[in-house]
Amino acid sequence: MPNQSIRKRDVARSAARIFALASSMVLCAQCFLLPGQNEEDNNDMLLLAALAINPNAGTYYAGWEYDGSGRRAIYFKDGIKTSLPDLNSNGESEATSILVTSSDIILTGYSSDASGYQVPGYWRNGTWTSLSRLDNSQDGIATDAIFVGADLYIVGYSADGSGNSVPGYWKNNQWNALSVPDAGRSSQAASIAVDGGNIYIGGSCGDGSLVLPCIWTNGTRSTLSRIDNSKNGFVADLEVENGVVYAVGNSYNSSSIPVPVFWRDGVRTSMSVIDVNRSAQANAIEIVGTTLYISGFSQTSAGIDQAAYWVDGNRVDLSPVDTGEHAKSFDIALSGTSVLVGGYSDNSGGSSDPTVWENNSGTALIENSTGDGHIRDIDVVN
C-alpha cells in the first residue's frame, strides 16, 4: 500500500510541482488573453489561482521567546511573528516542532497549567489542545508530529507518579506508551517518521545509570551502538528514506565528552568537531536526494558554543550574530538552493536571540531581546 504519511519535505515537493504547473498555465495563457486584459494582468490572475491551492505556502520557524513574565510559544511565517495562546494566562509555553499542510498549521509543545506543571499538547491553526498525562501532578511535553493518512501522530513523553518520564505517542489524541528497558528511569521520545507503512520513533531510554540511544519500529525497541558502552547516548532526530533509517544524536566517549554522531541503519559514524576535548551535539537531520544535512553545535577550545551543520559529514561553522557569543542550532531545512538553520545566538546583553542562518549568514528574528528565545524547528512550504 502506498505510504500515506505527510512529512515536511513531502509538502515542499508537492508545492514545487504546483508551482511548475502554475508556470505552465501562465505560458499557455499568453496565447489566450481575455478582452480588456493585458498579458501581465492575466498572468497575475493565473498565478494567484494556482498558488491558492496551498494558502499556507511560506517559510516557518517555531520556538519560544521570553516576554518579560515567562516563556511564550511563537512561530514566524516569512518573518512575521505569531504568539500562540497559553492554556493558562499566567503560565508558560514552548513550541517544539511545526508541521504545515495546505489546511493546517500544527505546532507541538507544552503549555503550563494553573499549578505550573507542563501539559503536553499542540496548537492547530492557533487553537490549543491538551493531551493526556500519566499523572496530572507531573510534567509532559509533545516533541514532534506527523500525519499518516488522516491520523495525526504526536510523540513525546509524560512523567509517571514517581516523576520518571515515559516515552510514547498520541494517535488522534489517544496515548500509547512505548516500551522501556527500566521503568524506574526516565526515557523520552523525540522524533517520528513513517516510511512504507512503518512507524519509526527516536529518543532515549534510561537503563540503570545509563541513557541509551533508542529507536522504536512499530513499537519494537532497539538500542543503537555507542562509542563507549559504559557511557550515555541519545537520538535527537531521525528520518527514513526507502527503508533506510537515519538517526542523529550524541554518544559520549571514554572521557565523558559528548560526540555528534549519525547512524545509518544502526551503523554509527562520528562527525568532525572544532575541539575533540570539548562538547558537541547533533540535533536534526534533513535528507535531500542522497545528501545528508545535519545541524547542531561544537564548542571551541575556549568553551564557546558555536552553531554548526554538516553536509555529508563536512562541517560548516556558523558565526554568532554578536562576535564571541554562544550560539546553537536545533534544526535545518532546504529552501531551493538555500540552507536554512534555526537556533539561537546570544547577544552582547547576555540574552539569547532566536536566530536563523541562511547560507551561513545569521539573522536574529528578535534582535537584542531582553529575554531569551530559541528557534526549535523549521518548515518550508514553497
Phi, psi of 183 (to 5 degrees): -70, -15
Cβ proximity of 120 and 156 under 8 Å = yes
Q: Would you say 114 and 134 are in contact if contact means Cβ atoms under 8 Å apart? A: no
CA–CA dist 353, 342 (Å, integer):
11
Q: What is the pLDDT of residues 347-363, one digit of tens each?
A: 988 899 999 999 999 99
The 10 Å Cβ neighbour count of residue 83 is 14
Task: Give residue for cell 568553551.
Answer: 303
For residue range 183-209, what is the model confidence (pLDDT) as tens digits? 999 999 999 999 999 999 999 999 999
Average pLDDT, the chain: 89
Cβ neighbours of residue 7 under 8 Å, at least 6 residues apart?
146, 193, 194
Which of these ranges, 31-35, 165-169, 174-178, has the smallest mean pLDDT? 31-35
pLDDT value of position 348: 87
Burial of 367 (0-12, 13-18, 19+ CB in 10 A): exposed
What is the spatial distance between Cα 357 and Cα 112, in angstroms, rounded to a whole number? 30
Rounded to a whole number of angstroms, the distance between the first and last alpha carbons of the chain is: 28
Q: How far apart are CA 43 and CA 364, in angstroms?
A: 36
pLDDT tens for residues 304-333? 999 999 999 999 999 999 999 999 999 999
- Residue 90 has a pLDDT of 86
* Mean pLDDT of the region 270-299: 97
Residue 15 clears pLDDT 80, i.e. is over it: no
pLDDT of residue 52: 56
Distance CA 277, CA 353 (A): 27
In angstroms, what CA-CA distances link 120 with 4, 88, 89? 26, 13, 16
* Torsions phi, psi for 44 (to 5 deg): -60, -45
Q: What is the mean pLDDT of residues 97-122?
A: 97
Indicate whether 288 pLDDT > 80. Answer: yes
**Cβ atoms of residues 341 and 310 within 8 Å:** no
Tell me, what DSSP letter sits at residue 326?
-
> Per-residue pLDDT tens for 20-46?
444 444 344 444 444 555 555 555 554
Name residue 223's amino acid. T
- At 371 the pLDDT is 78
Cα separation, 187 vs 180, in Å, equals 7
| Between 2 and 141, the higher pLDDT residue | 141
Residue 111 to residues 89, 106, 166, 348, Cα–Cα distance (Å): 10, 15, 18, 30
Check whether 8 has a pLDDT greater than 80: no
